[in-house]
Amino acid sequence: MERIYGSEIGKHAGERVRLAGWVHNVRALGKINFLTLRDASGIVQVVMTRAELAQLDGALPESVIEVEGTVVAEPQAPGGFEVHNPAITVLNRVSEPLPFPINKPDLDVHIDTFLNSATVGLRHPKKRAILRLSSGVMGGFRRYLDQHGFVEIASPKIVESATESGANVFQIDYFGRPAYLAQSPQFYKQMMVGVFERVYEVGPVFRAEPHSTVRHVNEYVSLDVEFGFIRDHFDVMALLTRLIRAMLDHLKADYAGELDMLGAQMPLAPAIFPHIYFPEALQLIYERHGEDSRQEPDLSPQHERWLGEWASAERQSDFLFVTGYPMVKRPFYTHPNPIDPRYANGFDLLFRGTELVTGGQRLHQYEDYLEALRSRGVVDVKPFEGYLQAFRYGMPPHGGFAIGLERFVMQLIGASNLRETTLFPRDLNRLSP
């Protein structure tokens, strides 16, 4: 008999079926006993007599079992069907209790305890739902871009120079000489605009930032886009807006169960996301909250939260573009605003008051790169040679952005710690499992 998933038993009412999965929970009441079996599709209820229960022979939760039984309609059961008269085979016995129970509706455990045993903890239905959503975010991202002429690339993660920002990179021993882990595919995706015009990448990025906050980890998944023949950063923002809306539609269509289980509120995402110019954002904060940061070159997390509240209340949007950050705070490849070169043709996209995306227009003239590097004190451009070559040989006006995958899921479900949305997070103190 072929194994079927628990979600399929409704199609087999009255028949014998074969199921397989994990012992999620056992309620031994005496004459009638209940076992919930968890498989890839979800949870199914098995009803056992005392003798049938004995087949488990003391196997503890998370034991792997096969169950052959008869499907019976039962309105009270999850899904409307349950399994009776089971013949149970234990495939892999668990004989010690779990580090913490994973068969309660909520995982009530400290984040560190959880992460120490993430291999087991991730089996909890809500944790599985978060990881599924995460895969859905990647899937929706790729789907939209595949449909719009973007080519997927896989850029190298080992790079020769710590050139992108000059700091916060991990060093590698590369056959006896130093190399570094790419802190983003920025250089490569720009170079590839020269090849394909429109490219994207889903891949790991590495940031050796020696601080520990609830919204940072040192390795995460970056959803990167770069494309050519733009007028300015507003073309980039327009594409990003359509992309985010398509990603949200994808989640609504294919991940409704996960969103529901996690109590996620779908965000307000109007057809045009509001935008505010950086100096105006600081002015707004001053007027609404009395904090005068109008001389600051960047936004603090509190500023971002205030702006998020404003966008939600006044613009009916959980997304807000902040454009025109001061050039001093942006990387050297940033294209300045031609009208006021102190400010960048770039943006951050805030999602519910937290930075989700950074992007903008890039320089595209070779001479502008030389000047930008010079003005930032870079004397030797040799480490940039491979990158600069693309601009010497014809690059169109272009721009792009990077979305943090875990940040997206965190803000979507309202998690309080980015580590709740990562498979096995890496931070200052954690390298395992």
Interface stretch with a copy of itself, choices 190-198, 233-241, 295-303, 308-316 (CB under 8 A): 190-198
Per CB under 8 A, contacts with a copy of itself among 100-139 are: 117-120, 122-123, 127-128, 131-132, 134-135, 138-139
Cα separation values, 64 from 4, 19, 88, 117, 319, Å:
15, 11, 10, 18, 44
Q: What span, in angstroms and rounded, lies between the C-alpha atoms of 309 and 318?
A: 8
Q: What span, in angstroms and rounded, lies between the C-alpha atoms of 306 and 124?
A: 34
Which of 72, 111, 172, 268 binds a copy of itself (CB under 8 A)? It is 172
Return the closest-CA partner of residue 36 out of 87, 1, 83, 2: 83
Q: Encode 244-289 in three state secondary structure.
A: HHHHHHHHHHHCHHHHHHCCCCCCCCCCCCCEEEHHHHHHHHHHHH
Smallest gap from residue 225 Cβ to a copy of itself (A): 14
Q: Specify the residue, 194 or 353, whose C-beta has the smaller distance to a copy of itself.
A: 194
Per CB under 8 A, contacts with a copy of itself among 298-327 are: none
Smallest gap from residue 246 Cβ to a copy of itself (A): 17
Q: Specify the residue, 74 or 197, whose C-beta has the smaller distance to a copy of itself.
A: 197
Smallest gap from residue 108 Cβ to a copy of itself (A): 19
Per CB under 8 A, contacts with a copy of itself among 48-67 are: 62-64
Q: What span, in angstroms and rounded, lies between the C-alpha atoms of 403 and 236?
A: 13
Q: What span, in angstroms and rounded, lies between the C-alpha atoms of 24 and 30?
A: 19
Smallest gap from residue 119 Cβ to a copy of itself (A): 5
Q: Specify the residue, 131 or 269, whose C-beta has the smaller distance to a copy of itself.
A: 131
338 lines the binding site for a copy of itself (CB under 8 A): no
Smallest gap from residue 210 Cβ to a copy of itself (A): 6
CA dihedral angle for residue 91, residue 96, residue 100, residue 103, rounded to 10 degrees:
40
- Strand, coil or helix: 348: strand
Smallest gap from residue 173 Cβ to a copy of itself (A): 5
Amino acid, single-letter form, for residue 316: Q
Which of 9, 53, 129, 192 binds a copy of itself (CB under 8 A)? It is 192
Smallest gap from residue 406 Cβ to a copy of itself (A): 9
Return the closest-CA partner of residue 218 out of 205, 233, 231: 205
Instruction: Classify 351 in phi/psi space as left (phi over 0), alpha (psi -120 to 50) or beta.
Output: beta
Residue 432: Cβ-neighbour burial (10 angstroms; 0-12, 13-18, 19+): exposed
Smallest gap from residue 196 Cβ to a copy of itself (A): 6
The neighbouring-strand residues paired with 18 are 3, 68
Interface stretch with a copy of itself, choices 81-89, 265-273, 307-315, 419-427 (CB under 8 A): 419-427
Smallest gap from residue 203 Cβ to a copy of itself (A): 7
- 8 A C-beta contact, residue 102 and residue 120: yes
Structure tokens that stand for 344 in this block? 């960048």
Q: Specify the residue, 222 or 323, whose C-beta has the smaller distance to a copy of itself.
A: 222
Q: Specify the residue, 102 or 311, whose C-beta has the smaller distance to a copy of itself.
A: 102
User: What does R_g of the chain's alpha carbons equal in angstroms?
Assistant: 26
Q: What span, in angstroms and rounded, lies between the C-alpha atoms of 297 and 281?
A: 12
Interface stretch with a copy of itself, choices 186-194, 301-309, 321-329, 354-362 (CB under 8 A): 186-194
Which single residue is written with the structure tokens 């003391």?
58
Per CB under 8 A, contacts with a copy of itself among 273-302 are: none
Smallest gap from residue 241 Cβ to a copy of itself (A): 18
Structure tokens that stand for 403 in this block? 């979305």
Site residue total, a copy of itself (CB under 8 A)? 90
Q: Specify the residue, 80 or 433, whose C-beta has the smaller distance to a copy of itself.
A: 433
Per CB under 8 A, contacts with a copy of itself among 363-402 are: 364-365, 385-387, 389-390, 392-397
Which of 15, 146, 292, 340 binds a copy of itself (CB under 8 A)? It is 146
DSSP state of 395: -
